[in-house]
A and B are shown apart, each in its own frame.
Chain A
Amino acid sequence: LAKTTQPISMDSYEGQEVNITCSHNNIATNDYITWYQQFPSQGPRFIIQGYKTKVTNEVASLFIPADRKSSTLSLPRVSLSDTAVYYCLVGQTDSWGKLQFGAGTQVVVTP
């Protein structure tokens, strides 16, 4: 699995957009980019996954440039309940590979 680098923490106010960028310089051709969210004392929750360009769902958007060496998770209009740790993982979804988590980004949303 490709190694990823994310900011350790980010602070935001309610209603703002939060963008978390993840670097993955060694991403392989078949690798997908997946983001998970984890609240304290809970298991991680799948947020979004993409391969290239832009992916959007009801929770977030994922922007992936053409070289795919980075990706940006965008959380629109965050609320207090978006305070969590966000993990970026890169790997193949059609293999039985292990998921290795990096440090993640602690997002704190304040009123």
Chain B
Amino acid sequence: GAVVSQHPSRVICKSGTSVKIECRSLDFQATTMFWYRQFPKQSLMLMATSNEGSKATYEQGVEKDKFLINHASLTLSTLTVTSAHPEDSSFYICSARGDTIYYGYTFGSGTRLTVV
């Protein structure tokens, strides 16, 4: 089945630094990837839609200059949290769809970001 690999699984960084999270589709080509953020005891909140070879589309209220998304190939999308602050601490999850009919989205295992 379709597998999405997300790395790292957890990261701790200092306030003011940047962190990059990778999302890879291992056995299929993902023309579209999605990035979510999830705070404790809450549901997943869609941050942005990443399309291969074009700019990401951000949801309302998500700062595109803070959350940089790059989808340079059909198997890799990256989310960079720039100038991270403690309030950016959260669980970040990516999801991917291939370019063929597939009856569900495949999700990565998530990245726990802690900003200290």
Contact = CB atoms under 8 A, between A and B. Distances in A.
A42 to B, nearest CB: 6
A34 B104 contact: yes
Contacts of B46: 98-101
B77 interface: no
B72 interface: no
B3 to A, nearest CB: 11
Contact of B104 (A49, A102, A103): A49
B103 A93 contact: yes
Among all A-B residue pairs, the 10 with the closest Cβ atoms? A43-B107, A46-B104, A101-B44, A101-B43, A43-B93, A43-B110, A44-B107, A43-B108, A49-B103, A43-B109
Contact of B44 (A44, A49, A93): A44
Contacts of B109: 42-43
Q: How large is the interface on A (under 10, 10 to 19, 20 to 34, 35 or more residues)?
A: 20 to 34
B72 to A, nearest CB: 19
Interface residues of B, number: 27
Interface of B: 4, 6, 31-32, 34, 36, 43-46, 49, 91, 93-95, 97, 101-110, 112
B103 A32 contact: yes
A82 to B, nearest CB: 18
B110 A93 contact: no
Specify the main secondary structure of chain B where it touches its partner.
strand
A41 B111 CA distance: 8
Contacts of B32: 96
Contacts of B97: 96
B93 A104 contact: no
Given A44-B44, A99-B95, A104-B43, 19 more contacts: A32-B103, A34-B103, A42-B109, A42-B110, A43-B94, A43-B109, A44-B93, A44-B95, A46-B104, A46-B105, A46-B106, A49-B104, A96-B32, A96-B97, A101-B36, A101-B44, A101-B46, A102-B43, A103-B43
Interface in A28-63: 32, 34, 36, 41-46, 49
B49 A98 contact: yes
14 contacts: A32-B103, A34-B104, A41-B91, A42-B109, A43-B93, A43-B110, A46-B106, A93-B102, A93-B103, A94-B101, A98-B46, A99-B46, A99-B95, A103-B43
